[in-house]
Chains A and B, each alone.
Chain A
Amino acid sequence: MRRPDARWAISAATVLVIVLAVMALLLAGGHGISGSLAAMWNGAFGSTYAVLSATLVRATPLLFVGLAVGLAFRAGVLNIGAEGQLLAGATMAMTIGLLVGGLSRTLALPLVLIAGAGAGAAWAGVAAWLKQRFGVLEVISTLMLNFVANYIISWAVRGPLQEPTHVYPQTVELSDAVRLPTLIAGQRLHLGFVLALALALALWWFLTRTAAGFRVRAVGASVDAARSAGGIDAAHTAALAFIASGALAGLGGASEVTGVTFALYEGISPGYGYSAIAVALLARLHPLAIIGTALLFGALEAGAAAMQRDANVPSVIAVVIEALVVLGVLALDRARSRRMS
């Protein structure tokens, strides 16, 4: 009845439908399919550089934020503000990074990462507090806070954090002490990727093996049963999961700033927080499966960027694909539950 292979078959079917839809889009836009797809493939997997400096680098923030969304959704919290939490984390990491850049790396780098996670947690905490105190729906508050975070960056990079010449709307670059080390010489892949992988494992262990993780799952599955049968303080549990989710997203922001961009500017995230929703849903909120979907989406975005560069196909195609993934998962899930009932 609930054979796991059936579920994965559905995910595979989703991917197939999407590939066909993308081919149709390319044709409609007058682009050659084979040329476009070859450019995409090469951009994502075509070389060691494509894998280690494009795909995996793109996948890293998606993994952090995908885990954040996965945790929140598992707790029944519809946190669609991972984007804002990531931006808050990036901003705070940058600020602290500029302050402690002179210290030794072993001291400074953890400080910067913790600051990023803390800022993400606080950003989510605002929405969690609004929910608990005034009953504000988190779907609305987190979405609105995304805009606020965006504009705070716009202000910061033209104001207090702007580089000293006041020409460009961005910060100066971080010093080496607060940069995440790369994993392989000559490639862009950095320690943040390993950290994200470790967090995926930790989150899986937390949800399936610990009492606190079980409470999170119970509250997410049924608030009433968690309260009545389990005596669980559902609001408290959901709020903690919400804040932890913000911390994961904030850490993702810190990892971007210290591992990839080394500076803060507008548009530092091309919508990782929104892509993460698709990443988490396609993985059915399973932390280990999120590793796979984050890699898939990382390859997609890396490939789409290469496709724009080499075949002149607009890279928004990646956004279209991500949207199709969400729709596909929802539609197929619905069809499946109808067949089962």
Chain B
Amino acid sequence: MNDTALVLRAIDKRFGATTALVQASLAVRRGTLHAVLGENGAGKTTLMRIAFGMLHSDAGTVEIDGAEVSFSSSADAIRHGLGMVHQHFTLVPAMTAAENIALGGNGLFRAGDVAAQVRSLVERTGLAVAPDARVSTLGVGAQQRVEILKALAHRARTLILDEPTAVLTPRESEELFGWLRRFVAEGGTVVLVTHKLQEALSVADEVTVLRAGTQVLTAPAAGLDVHALVRAVTGEERTGPPLRTRTRLATRGPCVARLVDASARDARGVVRLQPVTIECFAGEIVGIAGVEGSGVHELVRLLAGRLAPTSGSVMLPTTIGFVPEDRLRDAVIETFSLTENLALRDAATRTGRMPWPALEAQTGTVIRAHNVRAPSPATPVGALSGGNQQKFVLGRELEARPALVVAENPVRGLDILATEHVLRELGISADAGSAVVLYSGDLDELLPMADRMFVMFAGALSEVPVNRSAVASAMVGAMVGAS
């Protein structure tokens, strides 16, 4: 009797000139939680897509429960008891949770039956979802639960989750992991794709590390520590945990950006930001904390000059570098070349002819200065890994030495090296005299960087001392005060 739920053996995969996987292997034992770690571009997602029948490997085999299989589509994989929760959800926003879960089924659709089925599934699994709630009205955590329920409704025994915590709050992550542990305890199998090492160590039974498309480590999590994982993931010897240090400024420069009683509405006209006042000075990093939906999104866009205030006054410098959170939606055009994406920066104000040779030279400079792994400036941005895309975006925005840099969750989804690079560059930029506004959902990123801290809650902004307990209590206090 074989005790493996899923085995990938010696998988090769190439995309045109790019090699994604070289003899990559992964063996997941039944009834375990197996973490797959690696940098952006290490081949984690590609390997999982092959396991789930979304991609064909060029060489190598896939085994389910010890038997070799050949999937021609993910429908085959689902029939073999696999379920996958993608990093970018695959739900239909206009349909209800129950309708989404019923998608991919056969025969007749009876709303009542489906709702009852979903309710019993919810009861059995403890994943709280209202069957008749429209997906577009659900939060990210709830949408993820719908995805998991969808997989379970198709009788998945092995769940693959691709970066499931990238979009979750720490509390939601804890809840998810609690549930995954129970699922494993009841005999299920989980493959957790992540780049967060600590997370993998704390929840996984076993860990596999991929580097440059090859498996470099498989071991029980119990025998590993963060340093060993960092070595495996980066292939570099390091002393101590990742560093990000910058010299704090003793005196700050002139005021660069100022909002006075500025308020804002979202696209649907709902007031998201009560009148706020904030000043940013040259040479400092202003940290902003706040949960999703607190108006932090609107505040960031006001400061970046990407949103007009509903009321109040806004004073901004002429040059602003903006690193938006949703890179593929807001920062780059995937089908455009690196040069064309660089050209986006001054696109609104440029007149006359496009200075393509100069733009291409600038792109080359950014590629070199920020160590962007790209074959040439003519490469489409979509062909780059996420980390390299982000390094490119940052390079583009910083290259013009803007007076103000606004970065919105700039390291979300990035691996250690790319994270370090991005944070270091923001620090250098502040030291060079820019005012930097940094919003992050992760206090561990924010606190070491910030010279001043603000907390955003329910549309109101307050300044707090730069330490964890002050920020945490401000967020809690605001929550208590508002409820």
Contacts and interface: CB of A to CB of B under 8 A. Distances in A.
Interface string B313-345: 000000000101010011111011000110111
B352 interface: yes
6 contacts: A1-B383, A211-B351, A214-B340, A228-B324, A229-B344, A232-B348
Contact of A229 (B15, B324, B353, B383): B324
- Main secondary structure on B side of the interface with A: loop
A222 B333 contact: yes
A229 B329 contact: no
B330 A1 contact: no
B354 interface: yes
B26 to A, nearest CB: 22
A218 B344 contact: yes
A126 interface: no
Interface residues of A, number: 23
B331 A225 contact: yes
A62 B18 CA distance: 41
A146 to B, nearest CB: 29
A233 B348 contact: yes
Contacts of B243: none
Contacts of A232: 347-348
Nearest to B331: A229
Contact of B329 (A209, A221, A222, A230): A222
Interface size class of B (residues with CB under 8 A): 20 to 34
Contact of A2 (B305, B331, B380): B380
Contacts of A37: none
A210 B332 CA distance: 20
B347 A1 contact: no
Nearest to B356: A209
A215 B352 CA distance: 12
Contacts of B345: 229-230
Interface string B290-324: 00000000000000011000000000000000101
A231 interface: yes
A224 B347 contact: no
In the complex, which of the residues A1, A208, A229, A230 has the most CB atoms of chain B within 10 Å of its own CB atom?
A229
Interface in A186-228: 208-215, 218, 221-222, 224-228
A228 B332 CA distance: 9
Closest 3 CB pairs of A and B: A1-B16, A228-B330, A230-B347
A73 to B, nearest CB: 14
Contact of A231 (B17, B341, B347, B356): B347
Nearest to A215: B347
B329 A225 contact: yes
B244 interface: no
Contacts of B353: 209-211
Nearest to A223: B329
B79 interface: no
A221 B354 CA distance: 18
A205 to B, nearest CB: 9
Contacts of A208: 354
Contacts of B351: 211-212
Most B-side CB within 10 Å, residue of A214, A226, A227, A233: A214
Interface string B2-29: 0000000000000111100000000000
